[in-house]
Amino acid sequence: MSESRVLIIDSDAERSAAHAAILQFIDYRPVEVASAAEIRLSEHRPQDWIAVIIGSEPEFETLERFVDWLKRDRYHPPLLVLQPYFERARERFGLDESALLPVEAPVKYTQLNELLRRAGLLRMDREAAAVRRSGPTGNSAPMRRVRQMIAQVAPFDSTVMVTGESGTGKEVAARAVHDQSARRDHPFVAVNCGAIPSELLESELFGHEKGAFTGAITARKGRFEMADGGTLFLDEIGDMALSMQVKILRVLQERTFERVGGTRSQRCDVRIIAATHRNLEESIIKGSFREDLYYRLNVFPIEMPPLRERLEDLPLLMDDLTKVMERNGHGQARLLPDAIHALRSYHWPGNVRELSNLFERLAVLHPGREVSAADLPRQYRGTVSAVAAPPSGTRDEARQSQPANANAELSALQASRAASLTELPPEGMNLKDHIEAIEMTLIRQALEKSDGVVAHAAKLLNTRRTTLVEKLRKYGLSRDLGDEVVAIDPAGDTSERVGRIRNN
């Protein structure tokens, strides 16, 4: 995969091979060239490598041209330069310290591993920044509309009102508007209007002068001044007191304000983005929100859809959350198909914020493990269809105990099971995940019934042993089957069994 590729440019073949061996040992994919001239730039992108290790280069001008090509992408991989050549590279390449790092010669495993780890974290940070610029995650129709609206309004200074349920990512949308605007190089300042007491909110927004009130021992800038030239995000504007709404309306109209305790008006050059989970039109009727302020704020409305209306975005959201967990050092947990199917059946009242909290919880409870539906907290497990295991006992015993109409009863039982598997629930389902969940259940039962002998389980399922082995690997059952681990003999011995291994 390109994420783990490291380019080595070194005319010393023996040293290059030694570096490649170290990279392979720590699970990176080395790509070796003796000179930058061997790299066909038309066939590559700077993002194709997580880092570039530079040793000796017979034609330094060629290397400079390669570095200039890398620098066209502001998110190019860092250069790890061996110490004998580092000073010359620093003088000639014009890169900052985060993009040009010295490496001891001969290379030490621990140092190289740490530098590549930092390069990986830097790459994830840049990918996260790219996501923020492109807008909220998701390829569903509602999210495509949201991103389109963000792209349309971002170049203008129009006031934006972002609405939606709590946890839908309203601040993510606001940041995307800022990141795609001409104000992107200026501050993005967020303030939660509902989290600050009304008597303190005025000072928080407009600042105060020294001695304005008890405890004001120095003058202090407010959020409007801090956001000058950039964007001010007023989150939960619907919770703002009426007295403050009047003052906000004046700032929006006049673009001037006064600090608390001050007499001098100050101009502010800020773009306002507001957000709320409340229905402001209902609040206007109740008298808790000013109608004139509503129309001043609601110039360009963007509504964030709840997660339950875009469940097809779950895989992308999960990928993003997994990267965030890893970047923050929280570890990660990979979900198996039956767990994903269960999460798609959940109604998500807390939306994306609830999904994020769940992933952090799973990363803590099951670090580095694969999570099945049974591992999920109870409220998320849903109703994953499963086929009941046949009664225990040998076939001969079953024949002896069956009544005369056994065939009829068996047919009725099979018909009942088939109906439960083919009945479409009112809310619909994801067919692929549903079929995979059923297949996993049947494989588990076949292994249990065959005492873990894969060849016997394959006969019960009327499939080839090699096909079953591939399915075990596909679903992760070759590593974890409840409390047991399936041992697959690479030589193809048909007597492999499910070996019980206790975690010590």
Exposed/middle/buried for residue 483 (C-beta within 10 Å: 0-12, 13-18, 19+): exposed
Residue 416 predicted with pLDDT over 60: no
C-alpha span between 34 and 23 (Å, rounded): 17
Query: Higher model confidence: residue 44 or residue 299?
Result: 299
| The last residue of a domain, from among 132, 163, 182 | 132
Q: Which residue has the higher pLDDT, 279 or 410?
A: 279
pTM recorded for the entire structure: 0.55
Does residue 416 form part of some domain? no
For the ranges 89-98, 219-228, 389-398, which has the lowest average pLDDT?
389-398
User: Residue 158's domain is classified under what CATH number?
Assistant: 3.40.50.300
Domain boundary among 305, 338, 367: 305
When pLDDT is cut at 50, 70 and 90, the band that residue 421 belongs to is low
Same domain, 281 and 316: no
In this model, does residue 178 exceed pLDDT 90?
Answer: yes
Q: Are strands 266-267 and 256-257 parallel, antiparallel or unpaired?
A: antiparallel
The reply to whether 84 and 145 lie within a common domain is no
Do 160 and 294 lie in one domain? The reply is: yes
Report the pLDDT value the prediction gives residue 502, as an integer from 0 to 100: 30
Strands 79-82 and 160-163: unpaired
Highest mean pLDDT among 147-161, 217-231, 360-374, 399-413: 147-161
| Beta bridge partner(s), residue 79 | 52, 100
Q: Cα(119)–Cα(202) distance, rounded to whole angstroms?
A: 43
pLDDT at 132 exceeding the cut of 50: yes
Distance CA 244, CA 241 (A): 5
pLDDT of residue 489: 39
Nearest Cα to Cα of residue 472 among 460, 456, 488, 494: 488
Same domain, 126 and 155: no
Indicate whether 22 and 139 sit together in one domain. no
- Give the model confidence (pLDDT) of 139-173 as tens digits: 888 999 999 999 999 999 999 999 999 999 999 99
Q: pLDDT at residue 327 above 50?
A: yes
CA distance linking residue 384 with residue 338, whole number of Å: 7
Residues 316 and 428 in one domain: no
Q: Is residue 396 part of a domain?
A: no
Residue type, 446: A
Tell me if 300 sits within 8 A of 161, measured CB to CB: yes
Q: What CATH number corresponds to the domain at position 429?
A: 1.10.10.60
Average pLDDT, the chain: 79
| Residues 122 and 140 both lie in one domain | no
Q: What is the SS3 assignment for 333?
A: coil
What percentage of the chain carries pLDDT values higher than 90?
26
Residues 320 and 467 in one domain: no
Report the range of poorest mean pLDDT among 135-144, 290-299, 478-487: 478-487
The whole-number average pLDDT for the span 296-312 is 94
Distance, CA of 56 to CA of 88 (rounded, Å): 11
* pLDDT at residue 170, rounded to an integer: 95
CA atoms within 13 A on the CB side of 296: 19
Question: Distance between CA 61 and CA 104 in Å, rounded?
Answer: 24
Same domain, 20 and 124: yes
Q: Which residues pair with 481 in a beta bridge?
A: 484
Residue 35 has pLDDT above 60, yes or no: yes
Q: Which has more pLDDT, 330 or 2?
A: 330
What pairing do the DSSP bridges indicate for beta strands 256-257 and 370-371? Answer: unpaired
Distance CA 441, CA 338 (A): 9
User: Where residue 357 sits, what CATH number does that domain have?
Assistant: 1.10.8.60
Q: Would you state the pLDDT for residue 159?
A: 95
The yes-or-no verdict on residue 288 having pLDDT over 80 is: yes
How far out from the chain centre does Cα 497 lie? 37
pLDDT higher than 80, residue 450: yes
Q: Are residues 189 and 257 in the same domain?
A: yes
Of 86-95, 144-153, 456-465, the range with the highest mean pLDDT is 144-153
Q: How many structural domains compose the chain?
A: 4
Structural contact between residues 346 and 304, judged by C-beta atoms closer than 8 angstroms: no
Residues 279 and 360 occupy one common structural domain:
no
* 95-104, 352-361, 439-448: range with lowest mean pLDDT: 95-104
Q: Per this entry, what is the length of the chain?
A: 504
- Residue 280: other Cβ atoms inside 10 A: 21
> What pLDDT is attached to residue 151?
92
Instruction: Tell me: pLDDT of 297 over 60.
Output: yes
Return the SS3 of 53.
strand
Domain end (from 275, 305, 335) = 305
| Within-domain flag for 414 | no
pLDDT band for position 124 (cuts 50, 70, 90): low
Amino acid code (one letter) for 178: H
Q: Does the structure show a pLDDT above 60 at 252?
A: yes
- C-beta contacts of 424-433 below 8 A and 24+ residues apart: 427/345, 429/341, 429/344, 429/345, 430/341, 430/344, 433/337, 433/338, 433/340, 433/341, 433/344
Query: How many Å apart are CA 94 and CA 60, to the nearest integer?
Result: 14
Q: Within a domain: residue 48? A: yes
Q: Does residue 415 register a pLDDT over 60? A: no
Helix (H, G, I), strand (E, B) or coil at 68: helix
Please give the C-alpha separations between residue 144 and each of 130, 148, 368, in angstroms, as whole numbers. Answer: 16, 6, 32
Q: Using one digit for the tens of pLDDT, what is the confidence trace for 49-82?
A: 888 998 887 677 888 888 888 877 766 888 898 8
**Strands (DSSP E) along 176-268, which ranges?**
188-192, 231-235, 256-257, 266-267
Q: How confident is the model over 2-23, as a mean pLDDT? A: 85
The domain of 112 spans 2-132
Q: Which two tokens stand for residue 346?
A: 């959940």
